[in-house]
Amino acid sequence: MSMSRLEEKAKKAADKKAALGTDVDIESYDSEPEEFGEIEALEMLPEDVQTAALSAGVSLSGESAGDYFQVDQSAVHRVSSVEGVEVMEIGAALKKHSYLEDYFWKLVPIDADKFTADVGMHPPAGYFIRAKPGTKTVFPLKTCLFMGGKNKRQRVHNVVIAEEGSELHIITGCTTPSHAGRGLHLGVSEVYVKKNAHVTFTMVHNWGEDIEVRPRGASLVEAGGSISENYITLTPVKSLQAFPTANLVGEGAVASFNTIMYARRGKIDIGNQTILAAPKASAESIARVVSTGGEIINRGRMVGKVPDIRAHVECVGLILTEKGRIYSIPELDGWCGGLDMSHEAAVGKISQVELEYLMARGLSTDEATSVIVRGFLDVEIKGLPPALKEEIQKITKLEEIHGGS
Amino acid sequence: MLQFEDTWVSIGDKQVLKGVNMRVGEGETHALFGPNGCGKTTLLSTIAGIPRYVVDRGTISFKGVDITKMPMYERAQLGIGIAFQHPPTIRGLRVLDMIRLCNPKANARKILADLDFTEFADREVNRGFSGGEVKRSEMVQLLAQEPDFVMLDEPDSGVDLENIKVIGRAINTLTQKDLKPSARTKSGVIITHFGHILDYMATDKAHVMIEGTIVCSGGPREILEQIKANGYEGCAACLCPV
């Protein structure tokens, strides 16, 4: 589809409300971006920007397979440290690689809702990451989407392609400086996992309390390939709604979603769905959510289209305060015989027996609660390289994660 | 060290302990026998301060302090330690981290090695542990905590002979049985059904509890022989003074 055709479709959807989540008045956010110049090294970023990145799990020092840093709509830094891995700004990539048209807006419909439409009607900004066939990265690619200005509308469109037999680990930190006011982040991510390729895609949202966030993501996994998608939000946000889709189209394709949410305030409507459309495909969606006053809707959906697939959803939530809401919605949709889908859902409080066990060892009620909550959020994410695992563990161990108060 | 004076304890609306009198002196380790449901575990849980065990009457004092209403963790900080019979799994908490929580200064490596538990350092506490592993995990935590008063709820149930030896050795360490009696300052209470563990650890005194009261106290060997010969019915019939 030509670019002008796409834009036309987008325009038609400009007022189309999203199927899920609270509505957002897009026009109340500034459309015109401020330009930011390129920098040679991430160490040159102002200290508060580096701190914000770090709190979203992106340490700018240490080994990485590549970096991408975007401030509002400007890609201020991008580099690949591994031969065979391309890291580009999506606009430049579209100009350079005509084949990219076959991937751009092919997994996420441009007219899905007004948020995708808004991204589609403006010049694209975001990353393009491609691993050539057989290229395997050991260290994570670190990317950061940073909203610097006040009352800004950040639009991001990322495309990731892991070619046959390749391996990519991407961590994306989405963040604002601590003093940021209101803002709207719209992010489209399309991830292609070719035959026998493996991708881990981790998104850490660390926004300010007055930011509205609407990511739109989808992935396509071919035979023998796997994707592990991890979504982590531990700091308050005004509203966040996301429901990414994994399409398993090749035999033995695997999807694994891990969602970790901690809401003190605000409204979070998070979830994911996997379409299992090839034999021997398997999927797992694990969500651990904690509310200490915020509202979390937690969705896990599996759609089994063919026999001989396996899928499991686990939505477990803890409400630690008197107020707070967790709405767990596991959904299993089987379209034929010979498939195997299951779910486990629970919403509750911290087990008194566990608290007493730790208190018998000398921990106060608050200390014991915080140990249990941290442990609850410490989901074992399979297939992560140790460096990325360490980053995630650091985030879930942040001091601000505690129970009760 | 620890003293019960006419202590009555209920769980919900059920009266479980009915006037317990008991004294454990400094450096002493006592064994507690009794049929299922007689209140042995309730006694230990009450000492530990688990909130649902409510003291209706009487007092418990520890080191001369009235702990009857003291919160659980303060009792632990004061030196009371307990090995649970059926401890819960703590998701996401590794054994090594648990040791550090019990006591940041503990020599974790040595404790784990002594209990042949080194390979469990990175496992989640109690997750998928066998009976013997649960018991060893409890001993590891107590050795780190170094309580002055240690309570063991059936450390030998569901445990093979090899594990009983290891656990017995750990209990002797906890209760300072390697020191001469006059030098010992640590005390303990152990619940055991069959007394197997008593072959591997030293006890100074034993009590028999029936229906929420202590009906008999004396030398551990003698009492165990009596129970083996006459059953708890024999104990109930006996009128030896507490």
Give ipTM to 2 decimals.
0.93
How does residue A384 score in pLDDT terms, banded at 50, 70 and 90?
A: low
- pLDDT surpasses 60 at A262: yes
Residues of B in contact with A356 (CB under 8 A): 50-51, 72
The answer, for B91 touching chain A at a CB cutoff of 8 Å, is: yes
The answer, for B102 touching chain A at a CB cutoff of 8 Å, is: yes
Tokens read off for B152: 């063991």
- Let me know: does A54 contact A148? Beta carbons within 8 Å: no
Predicted local confidence at residue B187, as pLDDT: 94
Residues of B in contact with A362 (CB under 8 A): 73, 76-77, 101-102, 145
pLDDT above 70 covers a percentage of chain A that reads 91
The answer, for B11 touching chain A at a CB cutoff of 8 Å, is: no
- Let me know: does B204 contact B29? Beta carbons within 8 Å: yes
Q: Please, which residues have CB within 8 angstroms of residue B64's CB and are 6 or more apart in sequence?
A: none
Predicted confidence (pLDDT) per residue in A183-220, tens digit: 999 999 999 999 999 999 988 888 888 999 999 999 99
How does residue A395 score in pLDDT terms, banded at 50, 70 and 90?
A: low
Asked if residue B203 is part of any domain, the answer here is: yes
Q: How many domains would you assign to chain B?
A: 1
User: What is the Cα–Cα distance from B37 to B211, expressed in whole angstroms?
Assistant: 8
Contact B91 A377 (CB under 8 A): no
Predicted local confidence at residue A23, as pLDDT: 93
Contact B90 A354 (CB under 8 A): yes
How does residue A388 score in pLDDT terms, banded at 50, 70 and 90?
A: low
pLDDT above 90 covers a percentage of chain B that reads 69
Among A145-159, A164-178, A298-312, the range with the most confident prediction by mean pLDDT is: A298-312
How does residue B92 score in pLDDT terms, banded at 50, 70 and 90?
A: confident
Q: How many CB atoms lie within 10 A of CB A19?
A: 9
Q: What average pLDDT does the segment A234-262 reach?
A: 94
3-state secondary structure chain B: CEEEEEEEEEECCEEEEEEEEEEECCCCEEEEECCCCCCHHHHHHHHHCCCCEEEEEEEEEECCEECCCCCHHHHHHHCEEEECCCCCCEEEEEHHHHHHHHCCCCCHHHHHHHCCCHHHCCCEECCCCCHHHHHHHHHHHHHHHCCCEEEEECCCCCCCHHHHHHHHHHHHHHCCCCCCHHHCCCEEEEECCCCHHHHCCCCCEEEEEECCEEEEEECHHHHHHHHHHHHHHHHHHCCCCC
Asked if residue B20 is part of any domain, the answer here is: yes
Q: How many CB atoms lie within 10 A of CB A333?
A: 13
Q: Which H or E element spans position A282?
A: strand A282-291
How does residue A60 score in pLDDT terms, banded at 50, 70 and 90?
A: low
Q: What is the CATH number of the domain that holds B97?
A: 3.40.50.300
How does residue A389 score in pLDDT terms, banded at 50, 70 and 90?
A: low
Asked if residue B242 is part of any domain, the answer here is: no
Mean pLDDT across chain A: 88
Predicted local confidence at residue B158, as pLDDT: 83
Asked if residue B62 is part of any domain, the answer here is: yes
The answer, for B12 touching chain A at a CB cutoff of 8 Å, is: no
Predicted local confidence at residue A404, as pLDDT: 39
Q: Which residue has the higher pLDDT, A46 or B169?
A: B169
Q: Using CB atoms, which residue from A359, A371, A376 is nearest to B73?
A: A359
Q: Count of A–B CB contacts within 8 Å? A: 61
Chain B: closest CA distance from residue A54 (Å): 23
Predicted local confidence at residue B140, as pLDDT: 96
Q: Using CB atoms, which residue from A364, A371, A372 is nearest to B73?
A: A364
Predicted confidence (pLDDT) per residue in B99-131, tens digit: 999 999 999 999 999 999 999 999 999 999 998
Residue B166 is part of which domain span? 2-237
Residue A181 CA, chain-centre distance (Å), reads 22
